[in-house]
Amino acid sequence: MAKILIIDDEAAIRETLAHILRDEGHQPTLCDSGEGAIAQFAREEYDLVFLDLWLPGIDGMAVLERLRTAGAPPVIVISGHGNIDSAVRATRLGAYDFLEKPLSLERVLLTVNHALADRKLRDQVRDLHRHFTLEELLIGESDAMKKLDEQVRSAAPSNSRVLITGENGSGKEIVARTLHRLSQRAEHPFIDVNCAAIPEELIESELFGHRKGAFTGAIDDRKGKFELADGGTLFLDEIGDMSLKTQAKVLRVLQEQTFQKVGGQQTISVDVRVIAATNKSLETEIANGSFRSDLYYRLNVVPIEVPPLRARGNDVSLLAEHFLRRFAAETGTPKKRLSSGAASKLRAYHWPGNVRELRNVIERMAILMKGEVIEPEDVQLGAAMAAAPQIDARLTLKEARDEFEKQYILSRLREFAGNVSRTADALGVERSNLYRKLNAYGIRVERP
């Protein structure tokens, strides 16, 4: 069963499509405006979207652009005013297909089946590329990685809660997924939640679910992440960014293994192993009053620290060679190799983005380099590292640190032509965290 959002200002079209989709076992949600669709999409996750081009207020093309920017599922554009220009433009904006009204039942069903199959395949491929394996993470001979390997394999079989700490890009999510894969819960779901990426007003619904009518826009019952993870593992990433109000409710669930949906009265029991991760010092956050000490002690039963790449010595070279082999196998091209000078340059760099940044650097060289040997001058580690910004000596340490960070972010933004997603990836931080930094420093992003 797929969750499908239908956006059309004609009630007859909405109801007809909904009837067809329900008969096929799908769950349709109906929306009659672009503004309503964008709001609905922010609250719910959908497997497929039907979108009319002619809408009151925000038109279909604008909605399509917004949805695709937000990483939407396949979008099937429908219109009674279809023409070649509209179809071409919709396709360029990322539409999966273009159907003209009046809709053909056979064409609708065929397109839905193809779109859902493509979505499933795309998600599988994305997951394969997105997540390292434990073997990749543990490539190397450093003592730090031997210790991590031992900790992971010791903690995995138990049901104890684990708190994973480490810098962005170091591999905390990989460790969490590996703990699940090596546990007795491996056949059950692994559900991940990025606590920093969910707005405060939606986090409770995201974690605990909601009942129909619990708030504006809650048009259906919805399961939360705790319920979806029943029998398996719930990974709370960036736990240090969770609000105190939500922390209190999570603590209660950890104590009682029960909760109620937003707007609900029924008590739901779950069997969930919770693994949390953070790049912050939770002890410092506790001292500052922004993190609950009782929740910290509940989560920190088994602590695991993922070492930064700069602390792993020659592992940098071994990882780089591994990524070069992998990219060559994926693309069917001859494997490139590092000269001794290029390998030395990689080892000398301090890698603020850790393994994620190293992989991006190697992938860029594997794609752009024409020769078989990568020389030191071919290794581009970011123009911002060539010269540090000049800092006023009269500033306090905090002011100087903030000024350096601001100038560094600005330089990387210029390097990536204002693309926030690519900049965040290069910096080794979540995009939501980078947006917060931009707002704090008053940096306005302008893309050419």
Overall average pLDDT of the 102-119 stretch: 88
pLDDT digits (tens, 9 = 90+) for 323-380: 898 888 877 778 899 999 999 999 988 898 898 889 888 988 887 777 889 998 888 8
Residue-level pLDDT at 68: 65
Q: How far apart are CA 178 and CA 183, in angstroms?
A: 8
What are 133's two structure tokens?
């394996």
Greater confidence, 432 or 135? Answer: 432
Q: How far apart are CA 48 and CA 75, in angstroms?
A: 6
Q: What is the CA radius of gyration of the chain?
A: 24
The whole model's pTM is what?
0.58
pLDDT digits (tens, 9 = 90+) for 407-424: 778 877 877 777 887 788
Residue-level pLDDT at 388: 42
What are 422's two structure tokens?
């690519």
Cβ count near 267 (within 10 Å): 10
What does 151-196 look like in DSSP terms, one character per residue?
HHHHHTTS---EEEE--TTSSHHHHHHHHHHTSTTTTS-EEEEETT
Query: Exposure pattern of 399-430 as b/e (b: 16+ CB <10 Å)?
Result: eeeebeebbbbbbbbebbeeeeebbbbbbbbb
Residue-level pLDDT at 67: 74
* One-letter amino acid of 373: V
pLDDT digits (tens, 9 = 90+) for 47-90: 899 998 888 888 888 888 777 654 568 899 888 765 667 777 77
Residue-level pLDDT at 213: 83
Cβ count near 380 (within 10 Å): 12
pLDDT digits (tens, 9 = 90+) for 308-324: 999 998 899 999 999 89
* 394 pLDDT higher than 70: no
